Amino acid sequence: MVVILKTVLGVLTALFGSYYLVDVVRRRDTFSTAPWAGLGATGFFTNLLDTLGIGSFAQQTAIFKFFRLVDDRIIPGTMNVGNTLPTVTQAFLFMAVVSVEPLTLAAMSTASPLGAVLGAGVVARMSRRRIQLGMGFGLLVVALVILAGLLGWFPVGGEAIGLSGWKLAVAVTMSFIFGALQTIGVGFYAPCMATVYALGMHPKTAFPIMMTATAMLMAAGSARFVKEKAYDRKAALALTVCGILGVLVAAYIVKALPLTVMKWVVLGVVLYTSAWMFISAASGRSVPGPSAPGTSAP
């Protein structure tokens, strides 16, 4: 079953990768003026943190908004498209090193793309204000999950490496919901980790489930953003290339970093960005001040 899952993921990735990269090459004349160095550094360091289970969407959103690198309206599409191939790299790495019952892994991983496909088509056509509000609420939820974990309120999990019966049904349902939320900028990792822990699974099993499910949903859903031209091509390409490098560095070199400190930093970033999204939506502007110079034309 795992072999089938890897094959499906490989095929989805190949189809999406070719479609996405051809679009970038053909429309490279629409690249924004945002600096390659800033975009590349963002892709590298946020995907490094992503591989450690901290996530990347909140940090990328904060950086894109603070430095005005990407227009608010296309931030969700840019993150989904640009992070797809780095996330697939994570999935194959964790499937190789952490044991999870095949049925649980396959069921949760295939439910999430359905949510992504349904959600991406809606988000790609949403107004900037609706996206800002959706991301604001989503980031606030993620912040509460992180805070609960840091304060010791997080479910402690168990020793199981798989689920069955009603627990599996709950996990699959939540995976579908989280897949849809991913398309409005809510990272899959924290909600998925909370579900896995709450249902009594070993904490380590969250990693291959998170990475594989996210890779599946992004490979399936991100093509919709490309089709709708709802992403920044230059920023996405930088996230992809430098993000893969960040994944490899995190997986093989930086496994012993003090995650608790970084999680407090991420919590602050998430809360700040959530508040910023609400303020931007209320004021009717993408960011305080002039329009973002990094905006890419469709």
pLDDT at 238: 97
pLDDT digits (tens, 9 = 90+) for 207-244: 888 889 888 878 877 898 999 999 999 999 999 999 99
Q: Write down how long the chain is.
A: 298
Give the chain's residues under pLDDT 70.
Answer: 120, 123-124, 128, 154-158, 183-187, 253-259, 262, 265, 284-298
Q: What is the pLDDT of residue 289?
A: 32
How many helices and strands, by DSSP H and E, does the chain display? Answer: 11, 0
Q: Break the chain into its structural domains and give their ranges.
A: 2-283
Each residue's pLDDT tens digit, 45-72:
999 988 877 778 888 988 999 999 999 9
Separation of alpha carbons 150 and 158, rounded Å:
18
Around Cβ 284, how many Cβ atoms within 10 Å?
A: 9
17: its two tokens: 């990768």
What is the pLDDT at residue 89?
A: 95
pTM of this structure: 0.74
Can you give the pLDDT at residue 298? 36
Give the model's pLDDT for residue 79. 94
Q: What is the pLDDT of residue 225?
A: 93
The pLDDT, as a whole number, for residue 56 is 85
* Exposed e or buried b per residue across 149-185, where buried means at least 16 C-beta atoms within 10 angstroms of its C-beta: beeeebbebeebebbeeebbeebbebbbebbbbbbbb
In this prediction, residue 205 carries a pLDDT of: 83
> What's the pLDDT at 214?
84
Please tell me the distance from the alpha carbon of residue 216 to that of residue 152, in angstroms, as a whole number: 31
Task: Decide: residue 141, CB within 10 A, 0-12 exposed, 13-18 middle, 19+ buried.
Answer: middle
Amino acid 44: pLDDT? 97
Q: Quick one: pLDDT at residue 253?
A: 64
pLDDT value of position 292: 33
Distances (CA, A) of 202 to 98, 105, 190: 11, 13, 15
Question: DSSP strand E in 100-152: where?
Answer: none
CB 262 within 8 A of CB 49: yes
N-to-C CA span, the chain: 40
Three-class DSSP category at 127: coil
Q: Which amino acid is at 240?
A: T
Q: Which residue, 73, 196, 187, 193, is CA-closest to 127? A: 73
CA–CA gap between residue 245 and residue 247 (Å, rounded): 5
Cα–Cα distance measured from residue 99 to residue 121, given in angstroms and rounded to the nearest whole number? 34
Q: From CA 215, how far away is CA 207, in angstroms rounded? A: 12
